[in-house]
Chain A
Amino acid sequence: MSGNNAGLLLLGSVIFLCTGFSTELDTHYSQGLSAYENGQYSLAIQEFETILDGDWESSQLYYNLGNSYYRNGNIAGAVWAYEKCLQIDPLNKDAIYNLKLANLKVVDRVDIPEPPFYLKYYRQLRKMLIPSQWVQAMLIILVFLAMNFSVRRIWNLNWLAKPELVLTILLVTSMLVGANAIWDRNSIREGVIYAFEVKAYSAPNENSTQLFDVHEGLKVGVDTVSGDWVEIELIDGKSGWIHWSDIRLLN
């Protein structure tokens, strides 16, 4: 029984370690917030971006950065920040709403056909947690399953077999969904067009054919990166090369 106590101790210490804090971050963040509330949107953007440069992020930071960009008239920045916010907190209603508003001001409109209902439900389920939370959920289920397993085996409690089956199904489901979420997050690269109007070329040089124009704030898929050039793909399937500086990547 001493092994069990050791496990609990380890769990407790991990939780303690996760709640670390930094005061410098808070200074920048609160200065950014008060600048935003005083209408100094450029200053707010500067403060918030400083935090991002320091390699820290949070859903609230992205949300407030998005608001600052929106108020400052930078639709591309707003779309980018709201999208980032939703990557961390996919169910943030305020961010969803503000992103919709920002997208209304995007010149290019791409209509996505309605997916079949089962795909829609699946995506809603997957959206409930971000990839890292899926991993955690899976592990918590795993812990419960392990507890169930060991209790059942030690005391020979056969009625625990059913909960064990349920937990196993939950575990497999969360593993599959989580794996799919992580796969998508890592394999699908996206970005937001940052320049007002961008010409997309057929090859990564300016002498090649101009294929189409995209405008600021449009979310595009990113296929390949070659030097200063990025190959983007629109939702409707068109793809072309644009300058690296004209896009801000989402991941």
Chain B
Amino acid sequence: MYGFITDDGVPLRLTRYRGGRKGPVLLSHGLDISSSIFSLDTIDMNLVEFLYAPRYDVWLLDYRFSIALPTSELLASGDTVAQYDYPAAVSKVRTVTGVSAIQIIAHCVGSITLFMSLLASLQGVQSSVSSQVAAHYVVPTLTASKAELHLPEVLQTLGSIP
């Protein structure tokens, strides 16, 4: 397990499963979960096991939205993860492994923020797998209605009323 600090001072975590010399693969989770989503023991083969068996060097990232970290309670948008978390995480993996570029598998908000980071200037990524969403957003009618209602802003306002 490797701890690291982002440039804005937030402590985050990487967990390594060193399957072999096939190169580092960083797994990035979505929102309101943690990296444990990739190492579930309730299914026959989870993603860590799937990559470990053919000798990939698997790295689980817990970025600031991870519920395994107290940082999940910090207010932050996707821009913050893109600006601080991915550069620090990729740098840490590259430093420890000595490789110039890594591969990343990212899910949902992990994928959205990865794309933001890549488009903003993230270096050291040679390929990626993007699960479910990336840079464009088409949502169901119900979700669109909630978005039009600015529900998060409404809830935040209600929550701030003494």
A binds B: no
